Structure 1
Amino acid sequence: MGVVLNLEGGKREQASIAELIALTSADLGRVNELILSKAGSDVEMIPEVANHLISSGGKRLRPMVTLAAAQMFGYAGDGHVKLATSVEFMHTATLLHDDVVDESDMRRGRKTARMIWGNQASVLVGDFLLGQAFRMMVEVGSLDALDILSTAASIIAEGEVMQLAAAKNLETTEDEHFAVIKAKTAALFSAAAEVGPVIAGASRNDRAALRSYGMNLGLAFQLIDDALDYGGSSKDLGKNVGDDFREGKVTLPVILAYRRGTQAERKFWKAAIEDNRTDDESLEKAIGLMARHGAISDTIGRAGHFGGIARDALAPLDETPQKAALLDVIDFCISRVV
């Protein structure tokens, strides 16, 4: 079990998703085989770009949620494997697109695909993976599952545009930021969780429980990522620490520090975010201001709030190993910093 640094100082054991991994390992093996198969193409650059990111060490958290959610309700077919693969392809496509939009150089400790093959190839291979994802959804033959995941794809794209429109806007409100991360991150977690009970023929209440669980888990997950950018490690974050700051992203810690700051501090934030003064010295000052105003600790606190809602969403469901494992995921996501 790993140990993480608390951003306020001190150490604590990190929660584990070992049980989720154990429960889904056989199905996840089939997902990985399908990923390699469906990422293949006679166009040589497509598997090269796709495999660069697919094989770069992601935890496959979203597809594992899909697999566990289907198992929880006794699903016995193979549709959950195809849907879990679709979820992973959707996630990978958004990462490829994100890195182009954000002009990111690193992803999971490696050069981004756009730095090796260029922006055009990254966008087009992302589109290819989305196409493959939808083909697998159709093969499963569940209109409800197709509706859920295709709706999520549209919402994710809307979130990207919302974030682009709000770029470098320090007047962004907390509610507006939540709307962006709900669309960009939480929508896919929600869809990944809901399609499990859908193909298992579970009740509307069960579907709603998993949908709520995924949505709130996704919000908590993203808020912890927001916090980690100002005090985590590249290993925890999957990118360079401080990337959000250098890219001028207005995330929750920035919003809180800016709103709570003095007039002089707000001038600093405007120079940093709006005028791209984001060198290492400025990053250090930004982290200091966040500490002064409790911006990081309050971001983590809000993540804990959404984690609590996710936990309550599953509370009425029968006690199963899969339910326990999904609850562990909440603790795992939040314990990356607390």
Structure 2
Amino acid sequence: MTWNSPGGNNKDPWGNRNKQDGPPDIDEMVKKLWRKVSGSNGGGSNSGSSKPIIFIVLIVAALFWIWKGVYIINEQERGVVLHFGEFKEIVGSGLQWVPAGIETIRKVNVNKLEEKRVQGVMLTKDLNIIDVQIGIQYRVDDPRNYLFELSSPDTTLQQAAESSLRQVVGDSKVDALLTTEKERIRNEILRELERILESYNAGLKVEQLTLEKAAPPQALNDAFEDVNRAEQDAKKELQNAEAYRNKQIPEARANAEQMRQQADAYEAKVVAQANGEVARFNKLLPQYEKAPQVTRDRLYLETMEQILKSSTKVMVDVEGGNNMMYLPLDQIMKKQQENR
């Protein structure tokens, strides 16, 4: 049955409008709804009608309190739960709830890499001035220590890096920083920085440390270049001397070995000759004992034969005369060979 059909008595959800056409009265509608919620028909005391209001307010407040305690922790974050401002626990990612007003959650990103650069002009172990710069990448490793152990962990990291850099550079020589030992120095700086952060419970972890710059200051650059050139020249001369030494020592050893072999051969020759003379003397001795004069004459003749064999000139002393005859045997033998 429609609202205004015959026999319908003009009944509609908005109440009787005394058969008056037009939209329903909003005020009347609200009053009817309120009476239904409050359970009264307009009579009764005020205390009876205030109970539902308090109940509704409590429900709304409870829902708001529950909603206020809902938190969402992202995948890269950790939640630090505080109970009346005191640390309680660390929760992981996901939907979390804490009683509002009693506990709170502070979110900490544990995956985000932060960067810092530390630079300074420092004095090395061998009293040289050098300009050094390092780059640091770090992240939060322990959210609790990061939030509560230090008032400013990032500032502490900066100061710890400067301290580590000055200590390691002060214990190193300038040549090591400029040339071959950069990796060792970088590792020492990293170990010292990690030791300091651990002693402070900073809650930070250094993921990477790079030695970005190690050079003399601009004002001293020309002097350092002169020193480097001199060092390069010195190394070149040392290499040349080493090459010359490597060349001469084998030759000297070869010559020494050759001389030693020649000396050994001469020794063997002289000893053999001496042994031959001894053997010859031992053979002549019995003959000399039997006939001394004959043996002396024979030895004299053999000796003269050996001497004159290698001589090209002969002097002949004629008995009973004052003149000495000279025989040029070399010329005589030469003419004989030409005549042949």
Q: TM-score by structure 2 length?
A: 0.21
Higher strand share: 2
Higher helix share: 1
Question: Computing the radius of gyration over CA atoms, which structure comes out larger, 1 or 2?
Answer: 2
